[in-house]
Chains A and B, each alone.
Chain A
Amino acid sequence: MKLVAAAKVRRAQEAVVNGRPFSENLVKVLFNVNSQLQTEDIDIPLTQIRTVKKIALVVITGDRGLCGGFNNYVLKKAEERMGQLRKIGVEYTIVSIGKKGNGYFKRRPYIPVDRLIDGESAPTTKEAQSIADELFSLFVSEDVDKVELLYTRFVSLIKSDPVIHTLLPLSPQGEVCDINGNCVDAADDEMFRLTTKEGKFSVEREIVRTETPEFSGVLTFEQEPIQILDALLPLYLNSQILRALQESIASELAARMNAMNNASDNARDLNKSLSISYNRQRQAKITGEILEIVAGSTVTI
C-alpha cells in the first residue's frame, strides 16, 4: 500500500513539473506587460481592492479516508479562520472541494456554504477551470470582496502544513500573499520532489526563480496593455488553483503513505504478540497434559 501511494506521489509530482513551462512563460509575459503599465492606474475587475465585508473561503480536502489526520488538520484550520473572521465581524461563505470536507460541512448546516464540489483523483484543468469560474463570478459580481484559499502544502513526508493564501484580489504583478500579508514574488516558484535518501523516501523542496528578460523593444501589443493583463490574470488564477489542488493531493498521498505504513507496522507488532501469546497458551496446555499423564502414570506404577 505504501509503495502504491509512493507511485501516486511521483505522478502528482510529474503533474507539477509538467505545469512548469506554462507558469514560466506566463510569468515572463506578466512581468513585461506590468512594466509597460507602470504609470497607469489599473482598473481590472480581478485586481480590485474593496473594503472587505464578505470573504469566500475555499477549503481543499481529500476524497477518501485512511490518511491519518490530513483532513482533520485542514478542517481545524478552517474552523480557526472562521472564528477569526467572526471576531472581526466579517461575513464568510465556504466553497468546499473534496468529499471529506463536503461531508463535514453538510453535517453542519449552520455554516454558510456557497458550493460543495467533489474532487477528482488527479486534478485536471477542467476542474481548476470550473472552480475558477465560480470564484471569478463570486468576486466580480461583488458577492464577496476577498477569496482565500486553504490547502495543504507538501512540506515533507511526515509533515502536513495547511496554509491560507489570498487568491483574489490578484496583485497585478502576480504576487502570492498569505493572510498575514507575507508576499512571495510570482517569479519564485517552489517545487517539491520525491526522492530517496538512505533507502527511505524523502521530500525536497527547492525554489526555482524564473528569468524575466525584457522583451525586444519592437514587440507590438495588439490591444491596450490593460486588456492584455485582463486576459493574463484569469490564466494566473487558474494555474494557482491547479497548483493548490496538486499540492493537496500530494500531501494527502504522503499522509496516506504514512498511515498505511503505521498500520502495517502496528499489524505486524500485533501479529507477533498474538503469536507469542497463542504459543504460550498452547505450550501451557501441552505441559499441563504431560503433567497429568506423568502424575497418572506415577500412580499406576
Chain B
Amino acid sequence: MTLNLRVMAPNRIVWNSEVQEIILSTNSGQIGVLPNHAPLLTALDIGILKIRINGQWSTMALMGGFAMIDNNQMTILVNEAEKAVEINPQEARDTFQIAQKKLAQAEGRKQVIEANLALKRAKARLEAIDATPPSPVPN
C-alpha cells in the first residue's frame, strides 16, 4: 500500500506522485504521515512541507490551505506552493528583509495585517531552502 500525494494550487497541480513519507506544518504543530495513516483533515498554516521519496527528502513552501488524508491518498490544497529548487536564495533573503522593514514601518491595522502575511510567506520560503532567517536589520 503506497502513499500518494497530490498538491494543488488554484491554477495548477503542483505535485502528484507516490511518496514514502510526508511531514506537514499545521498551526497545532508538525504532523508526520506514513502509509496507512488514519483519515484526517487539518488546516495548514503558511509553512513548509517535507516529502521523502527513495530515501531523499525534498521541501516545498506552502502558503496556507488544508490537507486531507484518506485511504492512502493525501490531498493538499494551498493558495500557492513553491518547490525549494525553484526558489532563488538571494531573492528569498531580500524579500524577507523587505518584509521585515515593511512590518516595522506599518501603521494602522490594515497595514499590519498585510505586512504580517508577507513576512510569514517570506519566512516560509527561506525555511524551505534551509536558510535560517537573518537577524533583524539594525536601525
Chain A, Cβ-Cβ closest to B42: A222
* Interface magnitude class on chain B: 35 or more
| In the complex, B85 has a CB within 8 A of chain A | no
| In the complex, A46 has a CB within 8 A of chain B | no
Q: A117-140 interface mask toward B, CB cutoff 8 Å, 1 = contact, 0 = none?
A: 000000111101100111011101
How many A-B residue pairs have C-beta atoms within 8 angstroms? Tell me.
Answer: 118
Contacts of B113 in A (CB 8 A): 136-137, 140-141
How many A residues touch B, CB cutoff 8 Å? 44
Contact A222:B79 (CB < 8 A) given known A129-B63, A232-B66: no
Q: B31-61 interface mask toward A, CB cutoff 8 Å, 1 = contact, 0 = none?
A: 1000000111111110000000000000000
B15 to chain A, nearest CB (A): 12
A133 and B117 contact, CB distance less than 8 A: yes
A95 to chain B, nearest CB (A): 13
CA distance A273 to B27 in the complex (A): 72
CA distance A222 to B63 in the complex (A): 19
B13 and A21 contact, CB distance less than 8 A: yes
B118 to chain A, nearest CB (A): 8
Contacts of B45 in A (CB 8 A): 231
| In the complex, A15 has a CB within 8 A of chain B | yes
Chain A residues close to B by CB (< 8 Å): 15, 18-19, 21-23, 25-26, 29, 33, 123-126, 128-129, 132-134, 136-138, 140-143, 215-216, 218-223, 227-228, 230-232, 234-235, 238-239, 242
